[in-house]
Amino acid sequence: MEWFVLALLSAACIGIADIYLKKALFRQHSLEFLLSITFIVLLMLLPFIPQMNFDWSISLYFLMLIKVVCVSIAWLLFVKAARHMELSQVAPMRTLTTLYVFILAFVFLGERWTPSNFGGAVLLIAGTTLLETDKYIFHIIKRFKILPKRYLAYIFTALLFTAFSILLDKIILKQADVLTFFFVDYALVFSSYFLISSFLYGGYQDLLSTLKKSWKYIIGFSIATLVGDYLYFTTVANPEVLISLVTPILSLGSLFSVIMGGRLFHEHNLGVRTISCCVMIFGVVLLLW
């Protein structure tokens, strides 16, 4: 299967996960939610352990540990900000990850874009911003001025750590198989969240309580994340694929979440939404030209 098809499918899963995320955060704190979903994903991966190969070098495990620290911080900061801010404030800023990844991939991996790649990425970012700013599209600057500075800092920091994590994905997957990488990634992330939760809060009691209260949303998010991440890791593992091209395609997750959430076909702001969809689709075509 072509790499961009896998990336598009991964973006669709991100869109589904976003819907469950919005529902779950009305009920749960960010750390409890992250602890629960990493636990569920780990349970789903357990049957595949016999197919995994953990014979890694020490340096590879060290890189994995750094990657997990980046992921843990990024997830915690982003989800915490998403819980305390409006989604229409948080979501458009996720597109900045593409810019961060482009710079890091250029510096550390030597990845280069063609003019059409660059144009496609710009259109995807613009389309995502149009789609997610909703009725406030003409008041973006004004709204940014009134954003909570604390949570705004959380978002920008989270996106930077996410970009470093994506860069490390590409480096590590040159040497590790996808399935083992996937398991080690979530095992370490879960361990870090569990230690933090146990030290600061209720540990396993919080885990059980969260699963009991929001199990439907957590399982839905976990399944979407499991499939989406596996497709993403498989795409990144392809040596011919530029990681800086995968990231903007994943921004289509916003389009899928809007469509699957049923908001695209509401009368409100339909013109802007339709334009943004067309811009994003054309951006994908140009990006892959």
Q: What is the pTM of this model?
A: 0.82
Residue 136 is predicted with a pLDDT of 52
| 273 backbone dihedrals φ, ψ, rounded to 5° | -65, -40
Residue 60 is predicted with a pLDDT of 95
The string of pLDDT tens digits covering residues 38-92 is 999 999 999 999 999 999 999 999 999 999 999 888 888 887 776 666 555 566 5
Q: How many domains does the chain have?
A: 1
Residue 167 pLDDT more than 90?
yes
pLDDT tier at 267 (50, 70, 90 boundaries)?
very low
Residue 182 pLDDT more than 80?
yes
| CB-based contact 25:83 (threshold 8 Å) | yes
Calpha distance 122→273 (Å, rounded)? 17
Mean pLDDT, residues 1-23: 85
Calpha distance 259→277 (Å, rounded)? 10
Residue 85 is predicted with a pLDDT of 65
The string of pLDDT tens digits covering residues 217-259 is 889 989 999 999 999 999 999 998 989 888 888 877 777 776 7
Mean pLDDT, residues 283-289: 73
Percent of residues, the chain, with pLDDT higher than 90: 31
Residue 113 is predicted with a pLDDT of 81
Domain that holds residue 248: 3-287
Mean pLDDT, residues 118-147: 65
Residue 210 pLDDT more than 70?
yes
Count Cα atoms within 13 angstroms, Cβ side, for 190. Answer: 18
Residue 134 is predicted with a pLDDT of 54
| CB-based contact 264:273 (threshold 8 Å) | yes
Q: Helix, strand, or coil here: 126?
A: helix
Least confident of 105-119, 165-179, 215-229: 105-119
Residue 47 is predicted with a pLDDT of 94
Residue 33 is predicted with a pLDDT of 83
Residue 142: burial class (beta carbons within 10 Å; 0-12, 13-18, 19+): exposed
pLDDT tier at 186 (50, 70, 90 boundaries)?
very high
Residue 204 pLDDT more than 50?
yes
Residue holding tokens 């979440």?
Answer: 257
Residue 142 is predicted with a pLDDT of 55
Listed in sequence order, the residues at least 6 apart from 229 whose beta carbon sits closer than 8 Å to its beta carbon are: 10, 182
